[in-house]
Chain A
């Protein structure tokens, strides 16, 4: 799927409720309360953190292309929604196979390790012990060095090649795509291609290539975690996020579980109250046992739920008007638990544009 289509896909889910920045932060995997909340509400898990080093410039270009082609429009308040043509296009899109929520940019680490391993085997089997490593990252170098003392030690180049080849074969991805993917690998007398070079050769834009590459890695990594072949499993060690909470929210969660109140945590951690609130929203999103009733009356919770359903919105500003007596924080918590407690409002198909994805992408 092209970058523009990915963006259209995201906007179709946020339809009319968010500004363009929401999509940008989502793709970059910003760990803010708002982005995490959006991810959850709108089922955007596949896209979260898919391009951590996305430049605002590239994003804006794509956004403007969508505007210019009439697929999306901005309302007066700046929120963005799909036109009829946009809706038709979005409905016809293939399901995305990204799995950003689980990998969060760590797939790059897997690729760096793979590339260094292949490069090393390639040179060693040609009798060359001196080469410039394709990854200058010391942590990547260390992992690969350890692999060569363990897993790789008992394998000959043929076995390594076969494992990689069979692994890719079993993902069922098309050949042309895999050829573009593997063009990034280097070996003896044969360097990988830069994005620019690959773009010239394939006729695809650099952005589209990068999106395809990330998706290819996600697809492959998902398959690897099922197949458990020795080398590929070792290379993908630690690339799946263990806890859905970000580092800082995790700390807050621990203190909360240890019996501290919000103010106390803010003081102890020397953080602003708004940050602690963000953490609580994040915890509420992820913790099935979150004690929502300690933060709002059951009656209010139910009222907000039915109002949100009636208006068909999860927009805070809209709901706040109906419930001036509740704080934004309370509303956010209630929304965070929406559809997760008894009488859940259910979830829809994964990866289908226009509707929240199933939470199967969550950890």
Chain B
């Protein structure tokens, strides 16, 4: 299988993660969605629930990991690498909390859409996935840029409708949804 074919497969999986992010947007959550794939099957899908649960740590990845952990078929035996052989597709780069969690459960690899300059744990702020040495947990590969534009547009749609922090501009007409997307600041792939 050549690289293009492989990329097409990853993008198709990412489309399913985007559906979860859309669901988050509809629920007025920061639109981040993810799916976990093992042996060609989706074993968990989740989205951000920080507002609903009033807990800023309930990110999509942790929601999904809890779902997997709660399922004895998916997690028959708890080892140090529960998610070995499992791939995560997530619309936004996992934050440092989630990247650390993913490494602690032995995720195989991660594909994500857009970078997270504030909290990104797969290279944007800190390479929790691999460059940070850990005495026990093996590093994992994280690749950026899968359905990146779609992921960014979802975030923009959220911030344009949900920006309740700031007083609203006088007219809705001034609230323009920008569609141009700047290229990533770093190379799209990192390990």
A and B part of one assembly? no
Interface residues of B (CB under 8 A from A): none
